[in-house]
């Protein structure tokens, strides 16, 4: 099932690319380049979900984490007039939100959905209450020209000239994928997410591992929010993240809680959006803007409908761990 869907998606993507390439090579590469930019925050946010849920903690506070991080990174960056300071503040904000979720969900054993809702409401409230107009950051994070690769045909224009968070993000996703399936940390995390007492009886601290993973995941969520504010557009508005944190959960499910699977799903999302944009610019299709804006949400619903009942979440997801249960 999984293989067939991923084949279809790859085939579709290649068809899209070929369609544009036959018209104009530079358009084709710029569509893919834009797709990566659309995909990155979704992919990073999906990693937050993967890291948390693989150890058994449901995180629906990704949206709030991203929103608050985008806010702090933008305004601190604007106030001190240094984008890099903003970047650090954004990541730290995410880390703190991750720790907050860990305290509520792991230590206090709260219902994890409610813990996530608290984070979302907190972020939405704070960011609209503290929002001020007429702030701006000195510049967005500047894109990097990759040596050698930049001059390659097709690959160069697609992969080169992205911002620093994009490159870090891609490396992180690949690293997470390898770590999850090839390191002791990954094996233990997956065991904790499936059957925590098996890890506990093997001498692995369930609580500690959940704390570490949820906190790091929070920092990555912060990075995703910071990307939107400082690398992608360079502004901040109320409700800035527009549900990307929730879309990311759908992407995580579609990717079967696998970092690479989720990355692939995010790229497909990005490509769908980039393609529609390009078709609008080329005036091939005439669709009202509202329908274009609907695309991510419609895709989310479709994906969840396709995946429903066919994917199996980590077994211990959402269940607080009680050690002294007899």
Partner 1 sequence: MSSLLSVENITKRFGSVTANDNISLEVKAGEIVALLGENGAGKSTLVKAIFGLVKPDSGTIKIKGGVLAPGDTARAIASGVGMVHQHFQLVPVMTVTENLILGDEPTRGGFVQLKRAREEVARISEKYGLAIDPDATIEDLPVGMAQRVEILKALRRDVSLLILDEPTAVLTPQETDELLEVLKNLAKSGVGILFITHKLREVMAVADRIVVLRNGKMAGSTTPHESSESGLAQMMVGREVVLQVDKSEAKAGSVALEVNEMHVRDDRKLESVKGISFQVRAGEILGIAGVEGNGQRELVEAICGMRNRESGTVSVKGRELPNLNPKSAHESGVSHIPEDREKHGLVSTYSISDNLVLNRFDHVPFARGWIRNHNEVDSNGTKLVDEFDIRTPSPNLPAGSLSGGNKQKVVVARELSQNLDVVVAAQPTRGVDVGSIEFIHNQLIAARDRGTAVLLVSAELDEILSLSDRIAVIYGGKIVATVDAKNADRNQIGRMMAGLSA
Say whether 130 sits in a helix, a strand or coil.
helix
Contact residues for 71 (Cβ-Cβ < 8 A; gap 6+): 123, 126, 127, 130, 131, 225, 229, 236, 240
Contact pattern for partner 1 over residues 203 through 242, marking x by CB under 8 A? xxx-------------------------------------
Q: Determine if 326 is a binding residue for partner 1 (CB under 8 A).
A: yes
Contact residues for 261 (Cβ-Cβ < 8 A; gap 6+): 2, 6, 254, 255
- The maximal CA–CA distance of the chain, rounded, in angstroms, is 68
Give the residue with the Cβ less far from partner 1, 171 or 298.
171
Q: What's the CA gap between 25 and 195, in Å, rounded?
A: 51
Least distance to partner 1, CB of residue 47, Å: 20
Least distance to partner 1, CB of residue 324, Å: 6
- Helices of type H across the chain: 2-23, 25-54, 62-79, 83-102, 112-130, 155-159, 164-182, 184-194, 196-201, 206-226, 244-254, 259-281, 289-307
Among 145, 183, 293, 298, contact with partner 1 (rule: CB under 8 A): 183
Q: Determine if 197 is a binding residue for partner 1 (CB under 8 A).
A: yes
Judged by CB under 8 A, which stretch of 158-166, 190-198, 248-256, 288-296 contacts partner 1? 190-198
Judged by CB under 8 A, which stretch of 12-20, 197-205, 224-232, 253-261 contacts partner 1? 197-205
Q: Determine if 202 is a binding residue for partner 1 (CB under 8 A).
A: yes
Contact 318, 194 (CB under 8 A): no
The CA–CA distances, whole Å, from 125 to 72, 121, 201, 214 equal: 14, 6, 42, 23
CB-count burial class (<10 Å; 0-12, 13-18, 19+) for 165? buried
Q: What's the CA gap between 110 and 58, in Å, rounded?
A: 11
Q: What's the CA gap between 14 and 304, in Å, rounded?
A: 23
Among 135, 198, 243, 282, contact with partner 1 (rule: CB under 8 A): 198
Give the residue with the Cβ less far from partner 1, 75 or 321.
321
Q: Determine if 244 is a binding residue for partner 1 (CB under 8 A).
A: no
Q: Determine if 200 is a binding residue for partner 1 (CB under 8 A).
A: yes
Least distance to partner 1, CB of residue 186, Å: 8
Q: Determine if 188 is a binding residue for partner 1 (CB under 8 A).
A: yes
Least distance to partner 1, CB of residue 203, Å: 4
Q: Determine if 2 is a binding residue for partner 1 (CB under 8 A).
A: no
Question: How many residues at the interface with partner 1, by CB under 8 A?
Answer: 23
Q: What's the CA gap between 152 and 205, in Å, rounded?
A: 48
- Name the CA radius of gyration of the chain, rounded: 20
Among 33, 161, 167, 195, contact with partner 1 (rule: CB under 8 A): 195
Least distance to partner 1, CB of residue 242, Å: 35
> Whose CA is closest to 220, among 18, 81, 77, 49?
49
Among 147, 153, 184, 288, contact with partner 1 (rule: CB under 8 A): 184
Q: Determine if 323 is a binding residue for partner 1 (CB under 8 A).
A: yes
Give the residue with the Cβ less far from partner 1, 31 or 180.
180
Give the residue with the Cβ less far from partner 1, 145 or 322.
322
Give the residue with the Cβ less far from partner 1, 50 or 191.
191
Q: Determine if 283 is a binding residue for partner 1 (CB under 8 A).
A: no
Binding-site ranges for partner 1 (CB under 8 A): 182-184, 186-188, 190-191, 194-195, 197-205, 315, 323-324, 326
């Amino acid at each position: 099932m999984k293989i067939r869907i991923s084949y279809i998606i790859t085939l579709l993507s290649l068809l899209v690319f070929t369609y544009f390439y036959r018209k104009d090579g530079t358009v084709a590469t710029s569509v893919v380049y834009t797709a990566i930019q659309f995909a990155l925050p979704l992919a990073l946010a999906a990693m937050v979900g993967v890291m948390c849920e693989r150890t058994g903690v449901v995180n629906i506070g990704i949206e709030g984490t991203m929103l608050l991080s985008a806010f702090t990174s933008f305004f601190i960056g604007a106030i001190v007039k240094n984008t890099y300071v903003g970047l650090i503040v954004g990541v730290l904000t995410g880390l703190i939100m991750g720790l907050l979720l860990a305290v509520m969900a792991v230590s206090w054993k709260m219902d994890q959905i409610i813990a996530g809702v608290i984070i979302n409401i907190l972020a939405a409230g704070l960011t609209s209450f503290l929002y001020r107009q007429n702030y701006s950051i000195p510049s967005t994070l500047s894109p990097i020209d990759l040596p050698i690769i930049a001059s390659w045909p097709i690959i160069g224009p697609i992969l080169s000239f992205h911002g620093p968070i994009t490159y870090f993000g891609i490396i992180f996703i690949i690293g997470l994928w390898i770590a999850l399936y090839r390191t002791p940390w990954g094996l233990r995390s997956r065991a904790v997410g499936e059957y925590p007492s098996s890890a506990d009886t093997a001498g692995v601290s369930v609580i500690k591992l959940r704390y570490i993973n949820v906190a790091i995941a929070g920092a990555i969520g912060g990075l995703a929010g910071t990307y939107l504010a400082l690398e992608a557009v360079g502004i901040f508005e109320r409700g800035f993240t527009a549900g990307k944190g929730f879309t990311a959960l759908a992407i995580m499910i579609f990717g079967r809680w696998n970092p690479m699977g989720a990355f692939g799903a995010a790229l497909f999302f990005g490509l769908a959006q980039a393609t529609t944009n390009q078709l609008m610019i080329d005036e091939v299709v005439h669709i009202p803007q509202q329908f274009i804006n609907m695309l991510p949400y419609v895709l989310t619903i479709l994906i969840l409908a396709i995946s429903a009942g066919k994917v199996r979440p980590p077994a211990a997801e959402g269940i607080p761990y009680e050690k002294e249960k007899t």
